[in-house]
Structures are given as C-alpha cells and as structure tokens.
C-alpha cells in the first residue's frame, strides 16, 4: 500500500496548484490570517480548542527565517486583537534550526515570549530525527523561563521513553504525543503499526504516572480507546489531559469525545506553504491519497 500511495502522490505533485487546492482545502484553514482566525472562531463555536500553525519548515536562508518569525509575531497580534484564545505551534527548522542555531533559538524565544505574554501556550513541534536533540535542548531552555511551553514526542522513535523519562525527572511537562510521520531508519524508529501503538500508550502512561499533562494527538481509534481506558481507570478530570486532531480529520470521533466531556484541540495549519504540507498529508495517509485519485476520475 505504501508503494501505491507514493506513486499516487508522485502524480499529484505534477498537478497545478489550483487542482491540488481542490483536495487540500479540507485540511488547510487558508493562506492568510483572516481565514485562519475564521477557522478558529468556527472551531471554538463547536466547543473545541485550537492550535495555530503558520505552515513552513526547513527554511533555507536567514532572510526566510526572519520572515517566518515576523509571520508568527503577526499571528499572535492578530489573535490578540481578535480576542481569540488558543495555542501557537511552530517547527524549529522554519525559524532556522539548520542554519545559525543560536540565531534561530533567539527567534523562537522571541515568538514564545510574545505568545506567553499574550496568554497563549507555545509548543515546539518535533521534526525528523536529526533535529530531536536540539529541539529537546531548546525546550528545556525555554520552559525554565517560560512555563507555558510544551514539546512533542514521537512514539515511533526508539529513544522516546528515555526522552520522556528525562523530561519527567526535570519536573512536570506538557507533552504532545503523536505516532511520528518522518521517514527514519529502522535503527532508530519502529515501522510496525502494532509496536508504534504499544509505544504510544506506554508513553501516555509514563506522562500520566508523572502527573504531567499529555496532549493525545491521534485519529487512530485503537489509540483513542486505549487512552480513554487509561483516563477512566485513573479517574482523571477533563483538565488533566486533552485530545488533539488535525483540521479536517476525525469528525466522528470529534463528536463522541466532545459529547463525553473530553477536551479536544484542533491543529489549524495555514499559510502560503500549504502545498508541501498537503502533499505530506497525502503521502502519509493512503486513504487521503486514494480519495484524491478517485476524484481525478469522478470530479468533486
């Protein structure tokens, strides 16, 4: 299936942007702040929370990294002026992690300071394994100064239990757990669905055992049910955790989780870099890729 999915996405990549957008618009809030803020309003009107993300990663110049930093500061101002609560999430490579690291950290710190001062929780996203050490290091530095800061841990990385254990030893933490989407060597990452699921729930239990706050980021029914069982067994209050889902995905589970009184946060991506994000979503999810292929034959 993975081979078929990749070939479908190879075909999609050759399409003009206007055609790709027909399929991508379900998963992207839009290309500008106005569209993103409107998506936030709609999400919150439905009883959910939102995390805002300006799309972009692997910035290849200091100029582009500076521009990405300004985009985030503009986003925070726009959210503040619109009086919209929410979280802010960014990828470190977007602000230059692979360029001048010390300069990149100061850009990220600037965004985190503005977010926290405006009452917004700030999260450092996790990317491919070449960035893991530095991302965790920067998280440690940021949270000493800015408590309303979180990180992401990917269940498929074999190192993740040790990372979580070390973070828990340093005090309470807000950790978003996800499966992981980047292509990594079998030396450092699991590829088996069952092993990744098992590790995901193991990490969740570790975080809960340490009385820390997990953001349970998944659309996998097996993992949602497993998380709900942990929540019931521990008799947790809704403010002790949250579920997270992507914009445009998981509508059936959204309704059930909300109806049962659980916190649910939607990840709201937007911006000019929507094309690369969409192609990655299609490539990682065979169902989405097949949906696109079907609608090339049967128009939307």
Among 17, 57, 52, 8, smallest CA distance to 282 is for 8
Catalytic residues: 125, 176
Do residues 268 and 51 make contact, with C-beta atoms less than 8 angstroms apart? yes
Do residues 201 and 177 make contact, with C-beta atoms less than 8 angstroms apart? no
Helix orientation angle between 160-169 and 193-209, rounded to the nearest 10 degrees: 10
The Cα 183–Cα 195 span in angstroms is 16
Torsion 183-187-192-194 (CA) sign: negative
């Amino acid at each position: 299936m993975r081979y078929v999915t990749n070939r479908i996405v190879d075909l999609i990549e050759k399409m003009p942007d206007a055609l790709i957008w027909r399929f991508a618009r379900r998963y992207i809030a839009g290309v500008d702040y106005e569209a993103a803020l409107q998506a936030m309003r709609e999400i919150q009107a439905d009883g959910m929370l939102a995390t805002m993300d300006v799309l972009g990663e692997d910035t290849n110049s200091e100029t582009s990294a500076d521009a990405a930093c300004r985009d985030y500061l503009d986003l925070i101002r726009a959210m503040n002026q619109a009086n919209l609560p929410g979280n802010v999430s960014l990828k470190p490579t977007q602000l230059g992690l692979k360029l001048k690291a010390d300069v990149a950290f100061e850009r990220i710190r600037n965004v985190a300071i503005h977010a926290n001062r405006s009452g917004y929780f700030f999260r450092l996203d996790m990317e491919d394994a070449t960035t893991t050490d530095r991302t965790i290091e920067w998280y440690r530095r940021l949270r000493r100064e800015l408590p309303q800061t979180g990180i992401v841990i990917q269940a498929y990385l074999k190192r993740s239990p040790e990372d979580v254990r070390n973070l828990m030893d340093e005090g309470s933490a807000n950790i978003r757990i996800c499966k992981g989407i980047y292509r990594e060597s079998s030396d450092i990452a699991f590829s088996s669905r069952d092993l990744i699921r098992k590790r995901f729930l193991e990490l969740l239990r570790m975080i809960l055992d340490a009385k820390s706050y997990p953001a349970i980021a998944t659309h996998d029914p097996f993992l949602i049910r497993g998380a709900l069982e942990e929540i019931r067994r521990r008799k947790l209050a809704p403010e002790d955790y949250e579920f997270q889902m992507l914009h445009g995905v998981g509508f059936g589970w959204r309704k059930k989780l909300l109806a049962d009184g659980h916190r649910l946060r939607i990840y709201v991506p937007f911006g000019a870099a929507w094309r690369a994000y969409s192609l990655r979503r299609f490539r990682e999810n065979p169902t989405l890729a097949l949906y696109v292929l079907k609608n090339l034959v049967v128009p939307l």
